[in-house]
């Protein structure tokens, strides 16, 4: 009974703190109060047991947290850094909460809540995104969608970028596909069918975003799931099936390239349908624009190698220290359009190293869970594939560290760490 009451209190605290930390500028006094409450809660938890739940991520996470603190301290624009810092605090609170769960029923609830959170972001995106019409084949379908009917606080009047929505979908779509294929946490087959339907809805939405980065991330994320699932299976036929699939995809790609021509394929991947350079919020930036932004990010990393230029401040620094020539100053370049360059620009090279270490730990933990051969392996492989898909997307676009949907990244890491600790505990019992 006491455990249920505590779990209910944790959910209440999470429900109250999430909107305030995602939109700190709307109610700054209430945000300050909830931050003090979280500090008090963490302090009590620290005195009662360990300062932080024991996970394989803790070493890399400690260095990451140190560099986040440095990135906050060196920021010359606190008003820009505030929302990123509170977004990271929310993500870390989620990670700590999930990894502290021990009862299977609570763990299932955390997965249910993750699915609900994804659907909430999808629903908000559908009513607040500024849809583009880059590809004529999809324009008729996009015309059937309702226009932007709601503006999230802090977003321009043009609406949420379809590229950002595409990045979120590339991150979470493999998780939904994995749950539909194999389930997890001893969930019912009805749940798997329901998640499968939701996965098809998310995939259709990803198609309508017309985000090439999102398309590439989503497609390669699902392909990674199939490859990892096949090669982690004890039976031989899935491995042969995956090899045949990869060979078939390679042949199809070669045929398409030969029929269409490299020039047309390159133009499709690099530019919008009308060849226009649009703002970060309403559309895409062409490859030439991205190349210039990447060069400015490299300059910032060279000048602020150990501290970064400040959490979330690249949008200010780029115009003051490294002006762009092919992009108008009226455009808001909110990030470096590359997740690794952005991480180094925000937190310096030590921050990038800690982030890469977190990803490495995620890969190791996922593969160990998959090798255990249990149903939970599908959730682990789905999370790993989602991270792969997101970082494919992140080669040309970014969900900035601490941005509103970025808490899903920490939620997925928490679920993965939880499954990893369970697998390690099961192995210890067997031995």
Q: What confidence tier does 25 reach under pLDDT thresholds 50, 70, 90?
A: confident
Q: Which residue has the higher pLDDT, 62 or 421?
A: 62
pLDDT of res. 287: 73
Q: Which residue, 287, 301, 169, is CA-closest to 222?
A: 169
The number of residues making up the chain comes to: 431
Instruction: Tell me how far apart the alpha carbons of residues 173 and 171 are, in angstroms, rounded to a whole number.
Output: 6
Higher pLDDT among residues 116 and 210, named by residue: 116
Q: What are phi and psi of 150, to 5 degrees?
A: -150, 140
Yes or no: say if 24 and 82 are a contact pair by the CB < 8 Å rule.
yes
Q: Phi and psi (nearest 5°) for 129? A: -80, 145
Helix (H, G, I), strand (E, B) or coil at 152: coil
Q: What pLDDT was estimated at residue 87?
A: 94
pLDDT > 90? residue 334: no
Query: 280 with 332: CB under 8 angstroms?
Result: yes
Q: Where are the domains of the chain?
A: 52-430
Q: Are 214 and 170 in contact (CB under 8 A)?
A: yes
At 343-399, the pLDDT tens digits run: 999 999 999 999 999 999 999 999 888 887 666 788 999 999 999 999 999 999 999
Tokens (6 digits) for 26? 């709307």
Q: Could you tell me the sign of the dihedral formed by the alpha carbons of 262, 263, 267, 270, in that order?
A: positive
Residue 268, pLDDT score: 57
Taking the CA of residue 78 as centre, how many other CA atoms within 13 Å lie in the half-sphere pointing to its CB? 1
Burial of 186 (0-12, 13-18, 19+ CB in 10 A): exposed
Q: Residue-wise over 136-153: b if at least 16 C-beta within 10 A, else e?
A: eebeeebeeeeebeeeee
What integer pLDDT is reported at residue 276 of this predicted model?
A: 38
Q: Which residues contact 357 (CB under 8 A, 6 or more apart)?
A: 59, 60, 63
Q: What is the pLDDT of residue 422?
A: 62
Give the residue carrying structure tokens 């682990």: 380
Which carries the bigger pLDDT value, residue 349 or residue 191? 349
The rounded percent of the chain whose pLDDT value lies above 90 is 49
Q: What is the mean pLDDT of the chain?
A: 84
Instruction: Check residue 188 and report its DSSP letter.
Output: -
What pLDDT is recorded for position 149?
A: 64
Query: Rounded to whole angstroms, how far apart are CA atoms 328 and 335?
Result: 15
pLDDT score recorded for residue 274: 37
**pLDDT score of 195 more than 60:** yes
- Residue 134 to residue 112: CA distance in whole angstroms: 35
Sign of CA dihedral 284, 290, 294, 300: negative
Mean pLDDT throughout 33-60? Answer: 85
Question: What pTM, to 2 d.p., does this model score?
Answer: 0.89
SS3 279: coil
Q: Read off the pLDDT band of 186 (50, 70, 90).
A: low
Burial of 365 (0-12, 13-18, 19+ CB in 10 A): buried
pLDDT per residue over 241-254, tens digit each?
Answer: 778 887 887 887 77
Nearest-angstrom CA–CA distance, 171 and 122: 12
Which distant-in-sequence residues (6+ apart) come within 8 Å of 344 by Cβ? 297, 301, 308, 351, 352
Reading the block at residue 380, the tokens are: 């682990």
Average pLDDT over residues 219-246: 82
pLDDT at 261: 62
60/65 Cα distance (integer angstroms): 9
Q: Which of 411, 408, 403, 404 is nearest to 312 (CA)?
A: 403
CA separation for the pair 40, 46 (Å, rounded): 10
The predicted pLDDT at position 270 comes to 54
């Amino acid at each position: 009974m006491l455990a249920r009451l505590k779990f209910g209190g944790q959910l209440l605290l999470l429900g109250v703190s999430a909107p305030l930390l995602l939109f700190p500028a709307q109610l700054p006094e209430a945000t300050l109060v909830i931050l003090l409450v979280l500090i008090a809660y963490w302090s009590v938890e620290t005195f009662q047991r360990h300062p932080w739940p024991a996970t394989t991520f803790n070493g890399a996470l400690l260095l990451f947290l140190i560099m986040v603190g440095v990135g906050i301290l060196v920021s010359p624009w606190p008003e820009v850094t505030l929302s990123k810092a509170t977004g990271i605090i929310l993500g870390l609170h989620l990670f700590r909460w999930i990894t502290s769960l021990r009862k299977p029923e609570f763990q299932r609830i955390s997965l249910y809540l993750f699915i609900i959170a994804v659907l909430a972001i999808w629903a908000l995106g559908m009513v607040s995104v500024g849809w583009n019409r880059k590809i004529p084949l999809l324009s008729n379908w996009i015309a059937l969608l309702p226009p932007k009917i709601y503006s999230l606080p802090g977003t321009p009047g043009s609406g949420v970028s379809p590229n950002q929505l595409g990045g979120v979908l590339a991150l979470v779509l493999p998780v939904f596909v994995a749950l539909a294929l194999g389930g997890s946490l001893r969930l019912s087959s009805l749940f798997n069918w329901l998640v499968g339907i939701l996965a098809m809805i998310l995939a259709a939405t990803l198609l309508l975003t017309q985000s090439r980065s999102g398309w590439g991330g989503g497609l390669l994320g699902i392909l990674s799931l199939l490859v990892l699932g096949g090669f982690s299976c004890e039976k031989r036929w899935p491995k042969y099936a995956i090899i045949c699939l990869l060979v078939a995809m390679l042949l199809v790609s070669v045929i398409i390239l030969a029929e269409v021509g490299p020039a047309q394929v390159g133009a499709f991947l690099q530019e919008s349908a009308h060849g226009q350079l649009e703002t970060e919020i309403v559309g895409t930036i062409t490859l030439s624009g991205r190349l210039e932004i990447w060069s400015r990010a490299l300059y910032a990393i060279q000048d602020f190698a150990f501290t970064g230029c400040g959490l979330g401040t690249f949008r200010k620094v780029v115009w003051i220290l490294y002006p762009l020539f092919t992009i108008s100053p009226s455009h808001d370049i909110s990030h470096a359009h590359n997740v690794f360059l952005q991480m180094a620009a925000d937190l310096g090279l030590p921050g990038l190293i800690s982030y890469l270490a977190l990803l490495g730990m995620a890969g190791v933990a996922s593969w160990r869970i998959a090798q255990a051969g249990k149903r939970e392996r599908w959730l682990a492989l789905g999370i790993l594939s989602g991270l792969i898909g997101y970082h494919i997307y992140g080669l040309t676009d970014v969900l900035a560290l601490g941005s509103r949907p970025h808490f899903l990244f920490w939620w997925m890491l928490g679920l993965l760490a939880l499954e990893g600790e369970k697998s390690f505990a099961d192995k210890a019992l067997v031995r």
